[in-house]
C-alpha cells in the first residue's frame, strides 16, 4: 500500500492564525481525502482533492476556512484558516490505494494533532 508522510505531526497555534498541513505520498494517486477527528469523536470527511480540479467539500466545510491545494499526484495541503479553539482536532489525510479497486483500499497518514489556544 501507499506510504504517507504527513507534517507537522502536532502544533499549538494562536487563535486567528492559520496552519498548513502537508501530505506527501510515495506513489501517484488520483484521490486524496482530508478528515477531521475532533476530541473523542469519529473521523469526518472534510473534502476530496483531485489533481487538476478544485476540491469537493462536504456539508459543513467551506473553502475559505479549509483551502486545499493539490498541485500534483503525490502531494496535497490543507490549511486551517483563522483558527479558533473549536478547530482543535486531529487532521488526517488519506489516499486510495492505486492498486486496489475503487473504494476498496485506503491508507491514512499518521495525523496532525492541532491545539488552538
Partner 1 sequence: AQSVTQLDSQVPVFEEAPVELRCNYSSSVSVYLFWYVQYPNQGLQLLLKYLSGSTLVKGINGFEAEFNKSQTSFHLRKPSVHISDTAEYFCAVGHNDMRFGAGTRLTVKP
Beta bridge partners, 107, equal: 95
Q: Report the alpha-carbon distance of residue 33 to residue 65 in Å, rounded.
A: 16
Whole-number minimum distance, CB 116 to partner 1, in Å? 19
Handedness of CA 87, 85, 63, 27 (dihedral sign): negative
Q: Report the alpha-carbon distance of residue 84 to residue 21 in Å, rounded.
A: 16
**Given the C-alpha cell 475559505, which residue does it identify?**
64
Indicate whether 59 belongs to the interface with partner 1 (CB under 8 A).
no
Helix (H) or strand (E) holding 78: strand 75-80
Nearer to partner 1 by Cβ, of 75 and 108: the residue is 108
Residues 67 to 106 in contact with partner 1, rule: CB under 8 A: 92, 94, 101-106
Whole-number minimum distance, CB 109 to partner 1, in Å? 8
Indicate whether 11 belongs to the interface with partner 1 (CB under 8 A).
no
Indicate whether 61 belongs to the interface with partner 1 (CB under 8 A).
no
Indicate whether 45 belongs to the interface with partner 1 (CB under 8 A).
yes
Give the residues lining the site for partner 1 (CB under 8 A).
Answer: 31, 33, 41-45, 48, 92, 94, 101-106, 108-111
Amino acid at each position: 500500500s501507499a506510504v504517507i508522510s504527513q507534517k507537522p505531526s502536532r502544533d499549538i497555534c494562536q487563535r486567528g492564525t492559520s496552519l498548513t498541513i502537508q501530505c506527501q505520498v510515495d506513489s501517484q494517486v488520483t484521490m486524496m481525502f482530508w478528515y477531521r477527528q475532533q476530541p473523542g469523536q469519529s473521523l469526518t470527511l472534510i473534502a476530496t482533492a483531485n489533481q487538476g480540479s478544485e476540491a469537493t467539500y462536504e456539508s459543513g466545510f467551506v473553502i475559505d476556512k479549509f483551502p486545499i491545494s493539490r498541485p500534483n499526484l503525490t502531494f496535497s495541503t490543507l490549511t486551517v484558516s483563522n483558527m479558533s479553539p473549536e478547530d482543535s482536532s486531529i487532521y488526517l489525510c488519506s489516499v486510495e490505494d492505486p492498486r486496489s479497486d475503487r473504494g476498496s483500499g485506503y491508507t491514512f497518514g499518521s495525523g496532525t494533532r492541532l491545539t488552538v489556544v
